[in-house]
Amino acid sequence: MDQIAIIEACKNKNQAAFRTLMEHYAEFAYTVAFRIVNDKEEAKDLVQETFITVWDKIRGFHSEKPFSNWLYRIIVNKCYDALRKNKKNMVHPEQSQWNIPELLSHDDPETIMDHRELAYLIRSFTRNLSRKQKMVFVLSDLQGLTHDEISEITGMLKTSVKSNLNHARKKIRFMLTKYMS
Amino acid sequence: MNKKDAYSKLVTRFKSVVPPLENKEQIIDYVMNHIESKNREPGRFIRLLDLLFGWVHVIWLRRAMAVTAICLIILFTGQQFLLMQRLTKLENQIIKSVESESVIEDGPGMKQQVLMNLMFERPASGDSITLSREEFEALLKAYILDRPDALSDPPYPLEDPSLKRFFRKNLREQTDQDDLKSKI
């Protein structure tokens, strides 16, 4: 069963087809969600919410367009809301405990830090970024999407995408200089 | 390590930081259970609600309703505006008509003032006026008899002294003019 057939079956509310679709895209959705919220449990919750929304709205999806972009849009919206809700509760650990130069020079960063610490590190580096800047940074530099794709997914103008990305990069570079010194 | 290298290395590190998705099946089962619970046969109350308000979930119908509502609001506002304009115009006409009469001294009622203005200010305009039967008879009698005093004869319907004075004055003037004409 190819992807279009699966999606068409999902549109007809075929639960078996939807299970197949979830099995195929669950990890992708989790990766995007984790890179944005930097929290394992929250990313899992977001994956669940995302797929429930996919099931509810799949009839509105046009099969001729790429499904991953449509899925991106739902995940990004969910993550955006989650970031807004969690902004006040976000924990920023003490940065002095990290040895950034060693982390960057080492081939396998996980021998120095575990996932949790690395997630904290990302959160710390991106703490000064606005939600939009963070979204654009993750989609562009971590997910490798083009400006056009980001513009389509987030609904932002291409110029706005570029400007947010520049600001995000600038802020991360500043944090990097600060930590390395 | 320069800044650019450091940044690209950091981004590479960030990319690698994705823990594997544990309990994938559990997540999928949770979603499937949620979907199944949604698809279960709804209760009577839910069905009734769906019957009454289910149309709000139909996007085209909801949009059509919204557009209709906006159109109705615009129509209502426009109608109100036109009505207000007409009322203001009518009000101005009456005020203009009343204010143009400077002969009246004691301020009779609005109806009488308008009546007199229409009758005496624009006699040649061809406008029609409405008089009560009694008023008309009294007026005819006074005019035919060439006797302004007839306006005081019973049963005279114009009890307002200012109106009486006004009619008398006009009738006298008319009589004087007729006398003058006949003398000439």
pLDDT digits (tens, 9 = 90+) for B37-49: 877 767 788 888 8
Q: Is B63 on the interface with A (CB under 8 A)?
A: no
Nearest CA in chain B to A171: B7
Distance from CA of A152 to the nearest CA of B (A): 22
Residue B177's CB is within 10 A of a number of other CB atoms, namely 10
CATH of the domain at A37: 1.10.1740.10
Dihedral of CA atoms B68, B71, B77, B81 in degrees, nearest 10, equals -140
Is residue A94 within 8 A of residue A170, CB to CB? The reply is: no
Are A129 and A69 members of one domain? no
Who wins on pLDDT, A29 or B129? A29
Are A103 and A45 members of one domain? no
The verdict on a CB contact (< 8 Å) between A176 and B30 is no
Are A21 and A35 members of one domain? yes
pLDDT at A85 (0 to 100): 82
Are A112 and A172 members of one domain? yes
pLDDT at B18 (0 to 100): 76
Are A34 and A64 members of one domain? yes
Residue A24's CB is within 10 A of a number of other CB atoms, namely 12
Among residues B152, B175, B147, B174, which one has the least CA distance to residue B164?
Answer: B152
The verdict on a CB contact (< 8 Å) between B17 and A177 is no
Are A84 and A98 members of one domain? no
Are A18 and A32 members of one domain? yes
Distance from CA of B44 to the nearest CA of A (A): 22
Are A2 and A85 members of one domain? yes
Of the residues A90, A106, A126, the one at which a domain ends: A90
Domain hosting residue A78, numbered range: 1-90
Q: What pTM was computed for the model?
A: 0.57
Are A56 and A97 members of one domain? no
In tens, the pLDDT along B101-141 reads: 554 444 445 655 665 665 655 555 555 666 676 776 677 66
Chain A residues within 8 A of B11 when measuring between CB atoms = 141-142
The verdict on a CB contact (< 8 Å) between B7 and A110 is no
- Say what the ipTM of the complex is: 0.79
Who wins on pLDDT, B17 or B60? B60
Are A27 and A54 members of one domain? yes
Chain B residues within 8 A of A110 when measuring between CB atoms = 16
Rounded percentage of chain B residues whose pLDDT exceeds 70: 58
pLDDT at B104 (0 to 100): 45
Instruction: Decide if pLDDT at B154 tops 60.
Output: no
Q: Is B102 on the interface with A (CB under 8 A)?
A: no
Of the residues A90, A125, A156, the one at which a domain ends: A90
Q: Terminus-to-terminus CA distance in chain A, angstroms?
A: 55
Count of structural domains within chain A: 2
pLDDT at A84 (0 to 100): 85
Q: Is A37 on the interface with B (CB under 8 A)?
A: no
Are A85 and A104 members of one domain? no
Is residue A74 within 8 A of residue A33, CB to CB? The reply is: no
Non-local (6+) Cβ contacts of A17 within 8 A are A1, A6, A9, A10
CATH of the domain at A141: 1.10.10.10
Distance from CA of A55 to the nearest CA of B (A): 8
Are A51 and A118 members of one domain? no
Of the residues A90, A112, A129, the one at which a domain ends: A90
In tens, the pLDDT along A97-138 reads: 556 666 666 666 556 566 667 677 777 777 788 889 999 999
Rounded percentage of chain A residues whose pLDDT exceeds 90: 39
The verdict on a CB contact (< 8 Å) between B10 and A142 is no
